[in-house]
């Protein structure tokens, strides 16, 4: 099964647009230097994020969970000419390297990179958002959704990553982490403020459109 999944992923990557040289560098160095490189969005999901961003044409993006900046750069591709993306991460040890990636991109002036607790930083960022990408502490995803739903404009998108949780959402006796993911999915599925669907790519991407 794993072999088939790897072959299918390779096929998907071969049929979408190529990564930029910078994204290939971020991808390569993340796998060389990080202990959990699988947290990277990667080529195919990166192209999905870029496509969604380009369809929305956001002036304001909020990303919770920068990691090494791969998804940040993909989302930034869809920004309007004067658009900005605020991205938040708690890991200050990666800051210099990630800032280097951002500074090497065409979007350097559009990226506001925050280090710290997202729950404390989000209230300090003024205004509403056209697109929100939540890819951080899974236990707090529902908290972030509730914190931000009223700050997303009508027709805007909220994206939540890792909502299939390696298929564990189907387990009869899930662990506490998985139960949080299941609770999130069940709550979002019943929320009438958004149109919603899960894209079964990588570890599952919940796409929610504000009504």
Cα 180 from chain centroid (whole Å): 18
Query: How does pLDDT run across 107-126, given as a tens digit for each residue?
Result: 999 999 999 999 999 999 99
What pLDDT is stored for residue 57 in this prediction?
98
Low-confidence ranges of the chain (pLDDT < 70): 1-3
pTM: 0.94
The one-character DSSP state at 14 is: H
What pLDDT is stored for residue 3 in this prediction?
62
At 130, give phi and psi (nearest 5°): -90, -25
Which of the four CATH numbers 3.40.50.150, 3.50.50.60, 3.40.190.10, 3.40.980.20 does domain 5-210 have? 3.40.50.150
Q: What percent of the chain is predicted at pLDDT more than 70? A: 99
């Amino acid at each position: 099964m794993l072999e088939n999944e790897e072959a299918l992923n390779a096929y998907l990557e071969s049929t979408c647009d190529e990564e930029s040289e910078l994204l290939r560098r971020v991808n390569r160095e993340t796998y060389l230097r990080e202990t959990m490189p699988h947290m990277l969005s990667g080529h195919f999901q990166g192209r999905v994020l870029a496509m969604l961003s380009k369809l929305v044409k956001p002036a304001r993006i909020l990303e919770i969970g920068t990691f090494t900046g791969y998804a940040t750069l993909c989302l930034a591709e869809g920004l309007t000419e004067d658009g900005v993306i605020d991205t938040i991460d708690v890991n200050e040890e990666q800051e210099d390297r990630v800032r280097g990636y951002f500074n090497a991109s065409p979007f350097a002036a559009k990226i506001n990179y925050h280090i710290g607790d997202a729950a404390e930083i989000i209230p300090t960022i003024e205004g509403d958002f056209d697109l929100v990408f939540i890819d951080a502490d899974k236990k707090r995803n529902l908290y972030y959704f509730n914190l931000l739903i009223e700050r997303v404009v009508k027709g805007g998108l909220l994206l939540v990553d890792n909502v299939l949780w390696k298929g564990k959402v189907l387990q009869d006796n899930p662990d506490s982490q998985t139960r949080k993911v299941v609770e999130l999915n069940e709550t979002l599925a019943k929320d009438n403020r958004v149109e919603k669907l899960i894209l079964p790519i990588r570890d599952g991407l919940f796409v929610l459109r504000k009504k």
